Chain A
Amino acid sequence: MRRERGATRPQGLQTVNLSWPMLSRIVAAVLGGYAFTYAFTAALARLLPLQPADALIVATVLSFAVYTGAILWAFACRSATRAWAGLALGVPLALIGFWPQLLERLG
């Protein structure tokens, strides 16, 4: 507790050094996180054993918690690469969410 507030921690406050990995994390959090949440919500709505209207509301209302989790994930994990790797789980989720549309597209 004291350590965090002490006067001898200039490193932690060196906040202007915006590096590429950091930029990558920000993009991962904001855009990657949204894309992941979009896919997650679609998949959840598809999978919930409810009527479509109910599944839609449940999945959509929960989506903001998912997005928050995705943002925190992008910053909390060890490297920017891992952050993106985790968010890439959105791809299979999108396939689940939109498989009827996909089948239609493929003929």
Chain B
Amino acid sequence: MKQKTITQSLSWLHTWSGLLFGWVLFAIFLTGTLAVFDKEIDNWLRPEIPAHSLDSREAAQTALDYLQARHPHARTWNIGLPNERAPTLSVSTGEQRRGGGQALDPETGELLQVRETAGGGFFFRFHFTLNLPRLLGIWVVGLAAMAMLAALVSGIVIHKKFFKEFFTFRPAKGQRSWLDAHNATGVLVLPFHLMITYTGLVIFYLIYMPAASDALFGGDREALNRALRGMPEQHAGQGRQPPQEVAGPAPLTALPPLLAEAERVLGPLASLSIHNPGRGDARIEVRPLLGNRIELTKGQSMVFDGVTGKVLRAPAESRPSLLTQRVLAGMHFAQFGGYPMRWLYFVCGLASCAMIATGLVLFTVKRRRRHDGEGALGAALYTGAERINVSVVAGLALACVGLLWANRLLPFELAQRGGWEVRVFFLIWLATLLHACLRPWLRAWQEQLGLTAALCLGLPLLNVVTVNRGDYIPLEVTILVIGGLLAACAWKIGQPAPERALRVRTEVN
């Protein structure tokens, strides 16, 4: 360490944080890229839900009629509304708000028999928890995000000449091509890499860095939340009536005008809850879709009196500092800007994946010919890294498309079906690791990429054969394109020419 230059030390940091966290980061970035289209994937996973042309107000009325007929005594009714991205109308009773609920046919108002599935939300949850217990997962992902930031900034310092190198691409030259590809994907969307990593950390900023909250508020979240909302103390519990005051029966106000007013203030609506329906103290809480504005509006709502229809609480405007944090978080969530923005995030996300994957491959390609120079430990390490690379990059892609296949192939009535889909996902991923260890290195790449390509290309066919319903043309075209690209990769690996330089060296070794 004595005579190392700054570039060398930072290069060490870049290489090792990049390798050790690169595996986790690839998984985070790939599932995050898929989560850009989580609702669209979710629609594919629930083919029983029909497309319809009802607007959200008509659908809400259908759901309300159903709840009034079937659950007249429930304390709370929850209705999830269909929107541009998802046709699902769902109902539930009680306090539960997230996901859940039973799907309702918006036309007939009857319950739908929908297959149980992990849903598109699986990729979203995996993206920020890695399917670990929530808080542990958030910390692991946060640590990986910090490693990504450190690797990005040290990468910029190492490649000081990177704007010049950006225009350099020497294809089919083994290691150099990998380096060029890594630099190109790194530089091309560098602002995106930095933005998405930093804003990802900002979402859970108080979990990761509670210092200021500890210093100024003694770690008291309640006090902090009041201060953030700029509210005096007595307003904190507004919207809840004291429970002892039992109100008499009273009819519910008409929903459509109330929803129209909410839509005027909030923009398109996501869901509503009706507390104490049919009583004098009924409250209707309406929540907007995320993405009506850049600001992440999670948790915002508008509350109406359920009898008179008067507005009891309009959503508060965030103070400038909080708005800054929420806009940063919103930039990560990419709910604003509609489909053009989603596609931009999707393509940039794929570029991030490509940068991480080429970096991982570059690590092993660079060291391939030096195994013997570093003793048994070094050789074992690099061989291990090569195998894990295959499983993390190609194997994860296989597991993701495998989950879609499991959704169609598992028996409809299987208990815990959603859990089994997730199990299939992890079993496939584990199998790819075994496969990568047993097969020759390049063959393992080729076979796993080839199988992934085959599953992607076969997916539209599978849909036709198993359920034959639903209109998934955008998703299916996308997955066919991805399948085609993967097939091209697999074919390319099988060709001797591009890898000749590498092969010769391997044989010498």
Contact = CB atoms under 8 A, between A and B. Distances in A.
Given A10-B370, A72-B10, A56 B217 contact: yes
A79 B1 contact: yes
B415 interface: no
A63 B215 contact: no
Given A68-B146, A68-B153, A98 B215 contact: yes
A42 B150 CA distance: 22
Interface stretch (B339-347, B372-380, B386-394, B475-483): B372-380
A67 B211 CA distance: 13
Contact of B321 (A12, A37, A58): A58
A16 B378 contact: yes
A15 B224 contact: no
Interface in B197-229: 198, 201-202, 205-206, 208-209, 211-218, 224, 227-228
Q: Which of B154, B215, B227, B373 has the most CB of A within 10 A?
A: B215
A49 B53 CA distance: 54
Interface residues of B, number: 56
Given A63-B209, A64-B202, A46 B146 contact: no
A42 B212 CA distance: 4
A39 B211 contact: yes
B1 A75 contact: no
Main secondary structure of the interface of A (DSSP, over half): helix
B241 interface: no
A46 B216 contact: yes
Contacts of A101: 215, 218
Interface stretch (B11-19, B84-92, B128-136, B464-472): B11-19
A3 B99 CA distance: 55
A89 interface: no
Contacts of B175: 5
B374 A16 contact: yes
Contacts of B367: 13, 15
Interface in A22-62: 22, 25, 29, 37-46, 50-61
B410 interface: no
Nearest to A99: B215
A57 B227 contact: no
Interface in B306-331: 319-322, 324-325, 328
B161 interface: yes
B9 interface: yes
Given A15-B16, A61-B325, A71-B146, A44 B212 contact: yes
B215 A45 contact: yes
Contacts of A61: 202, 205, 324-325, 328
A94 B366 CA distance: 44
Contact of B201 (A10, A59, A64): A64
A105 to B, nearest CB: 12
Interface string A75-103: 11001100000000000000001100100
B414 interface: no
Main secondary structure of the interface of B (DSSP, over half): helix
A103 B218 CA distance: 14
Contacts of A39: 211
Interface string B1-32: 10000101111110110000000000000000
A85 B249 CA distance: 71
Given A52-B227, A72-B10, A38 B211 contact: yes
A64 B209 contact: yes
Contacts of B319: 53-54
Contacts of B216: 45-46, 52, 55-56
B378 A5 contact: no
B176 interface: yes
A1 to B, nearest CB: 6
A23 B370 CA distance: 24
A3 to B, nearest CB: 11
Contact of A56 (B150, B208, B213): B213
B149 interface: yes
A13 B381 CA distance: 13
A75 B325 contact: no
27 contacts: A1-B161, A5-B175, A16-B377, A22-B1, A40-B211, A41-B211, A41-B212, A45-B215, A51-B227, A52-B227, A54-B320, A57-B228, A57-B324, A58-B321, A59-B212, A60-B211, A61-B202, A63-B208, A68-B149, A68-B153, A71-B150, A75-B10, A75-B12, A76-B6, A79-B1, A80-B1, A101-B215
Interface of B: 1, 6, 8-13, 15-16, 146, 149-150, 153-154, 157, 161, 165, 175-176, 179, 198, 201-202, 205-206, 208-209, 211-218, 224, 227-228, 230, 319-322, 324-325, 328, 366-367, 370, 373-375, 377-378, 381
